[in-house]
Structure 1
């Protein structure tokens, strides 16, 4: 069993610094670090070491004052878990001929790359945030995995793959880069899938010097250059690319390149236009990887059933009614609207309309009135989607009127049976409460084909949502505002009334108000740049931090 060493400056028996622990740490040891900021740098040669934050602790390793990398490893292995690592004028995390494992870390830099990996047996970067450096992640001559990682606010490129690097990059986002979102060169061949690339000063993805990447289901929008550029003698595959608001042409392929360009996935080729566009809209939503996968699986099943029907093969009965379970502000209403449009594009529903109701729209004031109101709402929604928000308030266990709410549930069960192929009903609410709702009528659970779970947004995802809201209002967010924004979302995320994207919207409104008050005190007409810019102080004012 590997040895565990504890670092805590104020704890008797623990090591006062990370450096002191590393001096005693044998090969393969884990160093567990208590909360605090550690103004240290470390160089590990020929060693296998794991550094991790103590459970629930915020640990910052700050090498901002040094003229060398904050953490450098060579000829061994380095694992960092749940740490914040910073630098200013040098590399933040650098490895040479060493295995690198980064999980749940926040890496920020300055005038040099934040993460640099050169040679070595491989890398794993999972659910990390890399920000504020010259380049986010540089991988040279290494394979491995980069999953659900956010790279943002780079003065240059977001990710760079060189010297034959071939990692698998999936999920996550690259945004706010002065150069390219991703640059692939020197015969590299990474696999890039299910990524979002936005707001770059050049192309979204650049391919050069004989490289052959595989690019699948990548969304590229709001770039100054094309979505993808492919240089001479390069190849690879581009499949299901979703460009939006990029320079033209969206895919720029040089003479001599042999890249395979697949406009639509085989599954949706029979009806590529509307369905691909709607799925592209779904993919551009921040986060929600599980939700996106579930909706795509439903679309796949419906499309294949239609092909079977056309071929004269038997098709089983499929219910289009769904349960959306999760907290408020997680995108349930937006996905429900898209689902209705997808059902129309697939030929399942005639108009794909959307009707959103809650308890008050279904429940009447006396026995018999509720069934009448429910039937009217149901009939109005035929041919589209009926979305019942906070549906659990209809069940007896939720109170609020007892049998009147139960009457609405009983009426819905019968109407769903009588019109099973003419409407899609989506009921939404908190996960636990929706279980109680399904128990309110013995036939209710069998009417719904699937429960889709909407997870809370992470602080990084809320930051990306905030960036989009700010840009949508024709504002610019100061890069220095990223830290207080992330801290604010981290602080409120575990609160009992956490509203997810609603919190982001409230905060943006507060930032605009704070900016207005700040500009009024200038005593002069603000410049156009000043009218657009939201500063870190505006974030602090909106968050109630003095």
Structure 2
């Protein structure tokens, strides 16, 4: 299991600097960094390390030596999560070889390339901002994916892909640079997909020296030079790109260029581009219908089923509007499930996550269920780390927080960090609202109190779904269903007796709904076992599968 080291200058027992933690780290170590400003120059060589902010965006690492990068990696396997990096006279981040993953970071530089990656590195940058510098991002002799990144306010070229690099820029926004937006030379079959490039002093995209890129569904506009310039000997394809308010011609192919230019239908609408656009993931409409059928097959919950169907309809209509270039309002995938235990909240949450996956809203239907003990720590800084870790594990799927209202209750034992967990979740839900669907569940009254625990909490959730108690008739149907799934059947008059029993149960805060039916069936099976053992002979198959009225009465009597 990976070891976690904590950096918090003001906390006893934690490392005072990131450098100290790196000196103590071994391969696989996660270094969790408390919020604050750190003036350090960090170098990681041939090590497997994760540097992660406890509070995304609140850790600022400024190079102690202005002429050195804030973070350098040589042959390392390095992950940077939620950090702000800055160097005045060199790169904020410089990587030579190895593997690199950067997520939710900011890299800013006063000079050099804000991010420089060379030497055969394999990299992935996501949801990251690159600001300032002579150049924004340089990828040289390396392979990489750059997705949903914003690169802006660059002195020269914003992005340079060169000398054997094979890279994909996907859903990136490049704005405000003193020369070209993206410059590719000897960059093979690199790709630019659904990017927005604007306000460049020269070409939006320049292709040179035997490069054959795929430039698809991108929007290049408001450039002083042409939108796309392709040099002699270059190939590739330019497909369904929108070129607006650039120097003429919008796409310039030099003599000897082999690039194929394809134009999409005029009525296709503006392609969704840049960091703020929804990702166009593959949809599985057959799976959507199957999952909605599974939801409909659940007993009761008429109001919940209607609400979920309404959410799915809204998602589909928004997608149709988006494909026509029409405006689409922001839709939150976060939900509140309010109601008593045993009313199907967890099951519906799982189906909802699978629906979002099938619709292409989330990349997978992973379901992460947590409670207070999984989110709340025992000392300052521990809670933010635990909450962020649970959130990270749920990325791409559903984070289901059961009995969420307990986070807003004091434990009564001195310091209580439930509020810190709530505050951390609020920020993460905003920063990564398109990556996780958070569902909080609990009793109706307590959930109202929970939503008041943070001024921004209620606004993060799109809707509250009310799960009503099951009626006695529905509990009988649930009991029959549970018995059938376990290869049992109910004998004569058992269903009538069950209806009478469920009708007289007190429905206070301890009433378990479907759990009551499940627990009763478990007791009936035990009563049946005792009865069959006393027969003195081997029971028949019918005996083994039938739960009788006597079994029910015995179970009720034992429970009383």
- Bucket of the pairwise TM-score, normalised by the shorter protein: 0.5 to 0.7
Partner of 2:373: none
- Answering whether residue 317 of structure 2 is matched by residue 324 of structure 1, we say no
The Cα offsets for residues 428-487 of structure 1, whole Å up to 9 and x where unpaired, read as 999869x9xxxxxxxxxxxxx9998999xxxxxxxxxxxxxxxxxxxxxxxxxxxxxx9x
**SS in structure 1 at match of 2:266:** helix
In structure 2, the residue matched to 1:93 is: 93
Distance (Å, rounded) in 1 between the aligned partners of 2:209 and 2:274: 33
C-alpha separation between the residues in 2 aligned to 1:96 and 1:59? 24
Aligned to 2:272: 283
Superposed CA RMSD: 4.1
Please give the per-residue CA displacement for 1:310-357, whole angstroms capped at 9, x wherever unaligned: xxxxxxxxxxx984369xxxx97xx88777788xxxxxxxxxxx9xxx
Cα gap change, 1:100/1:287 in structure 2, threshold over 3 Å: closer, same or farther? same
CA shift, 1:6, in A, is 0.9
Q: If the length of structure 1 is used for normalisation, what is the TM-score?
A: 0.54
Computing the radius of gyration over CA atoms, which structure comes out larger, 1 or 2?
2
Partner of 1:160: 160
Q: Which residue of 1 aligns with 2:81?
A: 81
- Specify whether residues 238 and 28 from structure 1 end up closer, same or farther in structure 2 by C-alpha distance, changes over 3 A only: same
The separation in 1 between residues aligned to 2:252 and 2:457, in whole angstroms, is 47
Q: For residue 191 of structure 2, what is the aligned residue in structure 1?
A: 191
Tell me how far apart the structure 2 counterparts of residues 286 and 33 of structure 1 sit (CA, whole Å): 27
Alignment correspondent of 1:201: 201
- Preserved contact between residue 324 and residue 454 of structure 1 (Cα < 8 Å): no
Q: Is 2:95–2:121's contact at 8 Å kept on the other side of the alignment? A: no
Q: 1:110 maps to what in 2?
A: 110
Instruction: Report the CA distance between 1:62 and its aligned residue.
Output: 0.9
Please list, as runs of the form range in 1=range in 2, the aligned pairs for 1:124-523 lying within 5 A after superposition. Answer: 124-264=124-264, 272-275=265-268, 278=269, 280=270, 282-283=271-272, 287-290=276-279, 323-324=313-314, 494=456, 496=458
**DSSP 3-state at the match of 2:314:** strand
Aligned residues: 336
Asked if the contact 1:324/1:429 (under 8 Å) is kept, the reply is: no
| Deviations 1:124-164, CA, capped at 9 Å, x for gaps | 10111111222111000111211111111111111110111
Separation of aligned partners in 2, 1:223 and 1:64 = 37
Secondary structure of the corresponding residue to residue 135 of structure 2? coil
Deviation at 1:56, TM superposition (A): 5.2
The whole-number CA distance in structure 2 between the counterparts of 1:261 and 1:67 is: 44
SS in 1 for 2:157: coil
Matched residues in 2 for 1:99 and 1:337: separation? 40
SS of residue in 1 equivalent to 2:111: coil
Q: Which residue number corresponds to residue 15 of structure 2?
A: 15
**SS of 1:100's equivalent?**
strand
